[in-house]
Structure 1
Amino acid sequence: MLKPPSAAQVTPPPRRRPRVGRVLRRLVAVVIGVCALLGAVRLVVPATAGTADEPPGVRRQLTFLRAALDGGAGDQAQSLFPEGYFFLHALYGLSWVELGMRAPDGERSAALREARWALARLESPPGRAPFSADLTPPHGVFYRGWTNWLRGGTLALQPSARRDPAELRRFADDSAALAGALANYGELAGLPIDTPWTKRYAFGLLPIGDAFLAWSKTARPWMASTPSPPPATISWWWRTPLLALLLVIGVIPWLPVLVRRYGARRVRPEVTDESSGVATE
């Protein structure tokens, strides 16, 4: 008569391989968790080096942009929207101005050279092409304001004793032209015109955004000490909702795993006594 095998002779059933779906779900959960963690770190850690030091990586980005501009990126941007060529060179030059203003006085030559190069591009025929010379002031407040802002930046990068008098006169003349345009074409009788795209003053003659952005930046005292900037950090209460949202996003993919493990701990599986065949807890 055959005896039932003892518990020592019973071989456990082979372990099932994890299903592909489970592996994919955990992989997606890991990716979402890592992204949420990186977002929280970027939210808490300052993104720049403050207002005095040079932000990391900016010079490499500007080097890349200069190579792209030399390769025709301005013309490509022009084909996408009317001010593409102008904006790309203006922002490139102003970025160098900002970078140069953070450097000591004797280390601004590279920033000055690149800012002047961008200014020359703005004053070239391709830079002026979208702007009519019949506007008031010539080529419009948009063109004159942004160009004068960059010209003021090039002056600010130079020691006061080495600034070109002709360049200073040009800066003052353009500032006066912008002031005259705002004085002569201001908001008439308090009745601006709202269009589907922007709000315009002087019965539609002068866009509000172009006018006051350009004037506020031109009126900035480039040749004098600037006021202290606001703190570069964000208040903790502004970060709290985003941090909570990132925490929820990172935890949600893991909820099914946590629920299964918690349930497995509370409910003990039945254990079968091999000798008696009676299920016990």
Structure 2
Amino acid sequence: MPLFRKTISAILTVLALVGGVRLTIPADGDQGVRRQLAFLRDELERGADTEAQALFPEGYYFLNVLYGLTWVELGRRGADDGRAADEAAWALARLESPAGRAPFDAAAVPPYGVFWAGWTNWLRGGLLTIRDDPAQRARLIAGSRALASAFDASSTPFLQAYPGQAWPCDSTVAAASLRLADRVTGKPEFAPVVDRWVGRARGLLDPATGLLPHQVDPSTGAALTGARGTSQAIIQRFLVDVDPELAREQYPLFRERFLARPLGLGPAIREYPHGTDGVADVDSGPLILGISLSTTVVALGAARVNGDAALAGALANFGELAGLPLSTFTTKRYAFGLVPVGDAFLAWSKAAGPWTVPAPAAPPAVISAWWRLPLLTLLLLIGLAPWLPALRRRFTGRRAAAGIRPGPPGPEAGAPGTP
């Protein structure tokens, strides 16, 4: 075998072996998340959030808020000696900067709209679960009261994120932040508001799927767009902290309607429910066989907070194979670090856990360990295929050297002397 062919064969075999390892051993957990955060901090300091803003309207905001929220997740595990709180506070300050507020309407109710208000309130509450700060506590209470007042005054449970536009997933985050505010303060000030929100939301489910819709009429709350994976993954991530009972009802429906295994390979999440198709947009990213990679990443976190360890582990392992991770001694990035906001969503998802309630009991599993078998078989073929011609030649040469020749053909059917 020529040297060039041997080199290519060896590379393919090593890649197949690495892929098999990534599919079968647990993903690297908090250690990998910390290395992702190191990469993201470097990217933020060089202006990656400003670059992300050019990709979609909340690019700057999401890159910073997810960075801060992931540090809170690690800080809640109690192993960061104050650094987690420092980093979360740094991210929070960036959300409240002119650049963080720029895409949003200051005159909205609540100020800057429910997207900005809800996510900011959630991060502030999370920061207070790992480090108390009287000034931040006062701002959490004020922000929560503004949200509660907006919910009470609204004709629907789904507040506007932008003028004339409302998405239920944004109000789900805001409702979760009110639950968190009650936990932080130790007072049930906002529980009645959230309970009313849950009751009203139940009456506005997408009739086709039984899930919260994607986009609604801002004046009535009626669905304009049925349930979609992009928003459902976020809703399922936060619904546990809003109302565990509603989450137990909604999460199995989400899996039933959106979980897929394209080509019989790894688990992934569709952008549109089974039986329907639609176009890709800035939220879903490109769709491959109906699959949204961004939705699949966020669904990993949703599976974790809902106690679905089997699906979370499968999504994490598949991500280690398909995400093309690149690690150094101090950093880790996926897809060669070309889209840092994707790394931010993945780090946030890998670290996910509920903040206001204990971890729920595991739902019935919908995926078994055997899901890996087709992929492992494919990797085995990729690893062995380049060597088969050389192995065949070597085997044939050894038979010839030993004097082994093919025997004479047997008598043909019907020849004289044959039975």
Bin of the TM-score, shorter chain as denominator length? 0.5 to 0.7
Counterpart of 2:119 in structure 1 is 146
Larger Rg: 1
Distance in 2, matches of 1:141 and 1:207, equals 20
Are the equivalent residues in 1 in contact too, given 2:57–2:103 (CA < 8 A)?
A: yes
Q: Which amino acid aligns with 2:127?
A: T
Distance in 1, matches of 2:202 and 2:225, equals 9
Counterpart of 1:83 in structure 2 is 58
Give percent identity, aligned residues only.
Answer: 44
User: For residues 39-62 of structure 1, what are the alpha-carbon distances to aligned partners after superposition, in whole Å with 9 as ceiling and x for unaligned?
Assistant: 11111121224xxxxx22543442
Q: Which amino acid aligns with 1:166?
A: A
Counterpart of 1:157 in structure 2 is 130
Counterpart of 1:67 in structure 2 is 42
Query: Gaps spanning 5+ residues in structure 2: where?
Result: 160-200, 208-212, 243-353, 404-419
Mark the CA change 1:72 to 1:128 in structure 2 (over 3 Å): closer, same or farther. same
Counterpart of 2:254 in structure 1 is none
Counterpart of 1:24 in structure 2 is 4
Q: How many aligned residue pairs are there?
A: 236
User: For residues 145-182 of structure 1, what are the alpha-carbon distances to aligned partners after superposition, in whole Å with 9 as ceiling and x for unaligned?
Assistant: 322221221122136x9795414413532553675565
Match of 1:243 among 373, 376, 383: 376
Distance in 1, matches of 2:151 and 2:234, equals 12
Counterpart of 2:248 in structure 1 is none
| 2:14 corresponds to 1:34 | yes
TM alignment of 1:98-177, pairs within 5 A: 98-104=73-79, 107-158=80-131, 165-170=137-142, 172-173=144-145, 176=148
Deviation at 1:140, TM superposition (A): 2.8
Q: Which amino acid aligns with 1:66?
A: R
Distance in 2, matches of 1:206 and 1:95, equals 30
Deviation at 1:138, TM superposition (A): 3.5
Compute the RMSD of aligned alpha carbons: 3.9
| 2:358 corresponds to 1:226 | yes
Mark the CA change 1:141 to 1:204 in structure 2 (over 3 Å): closer, same or farther. farther
SS at structure 2 position matched to 1:227: coil
Deviation at 1:96, TM superposition (A): 0.6
Distance in 2, matches of 1:213 and 1:38, equals 31
SS at structure 2 position matched to 1:43: helix
What TM-score, normalized by structure 1, do the two folds share? 0.67
SS at structure 2 position matched to 1:183: coil
Moved more, 202-211 or 133-142: 202-211
User: For residues 96-151 of structure 1, what are the alpha-carbon distances to aligned partners after superposition, in whole Å with 9 as ceiling and x for unaligned?
Assistant: 111111225xx542111111111111121111111223545443332223222212
Are the equivalent residues in 2 in contact too, given 1:33–1:250 (CA < 8 A)?
A: yes
Match of 2:216 among 192, 201, 206: 201
Are the equivalent residues in 2 in contact too, given 1:97–1:153 (CA < 8 A)?
A: yes
Distance in 2, matches of 1:245 and 1:174, equals 55
Mark the CA change 1:204 to 1:218 in structure 2 (over 3 Å): closer, same or farther. closer
Deviation at 1:246, TM superposition (A): 0.9
What TM-score, normalized by structure 2, do the two folds share? 0.47
Are the equivalent residues in 2 in contact too, given 1:149–1:217 (CA < 8 A)?
A: no
Deviation at 1:212, TM superposition (A): 8.5
User: For residues 229-269 of structure 1, what are the alpha-carbon distances to aligned partners after superposition, in whole Å with 9 as ceiling and x for unaligned?
Assistant: 869xx842122222111111111111111221222233348
Distance in 2, matches of 1:206 and 1:169, equals 33
Distance in 1, matches of 2:356 and 2:383, equals 49
Distance in 2, matches of 1:211 and 1:239, equals 26
Distance in 2, matches of 1:174 and 1:261, equals 77
Mark the CA change 1:178 to 1:245 in structure 2 (over 3 Å): closer, same or farther. farther
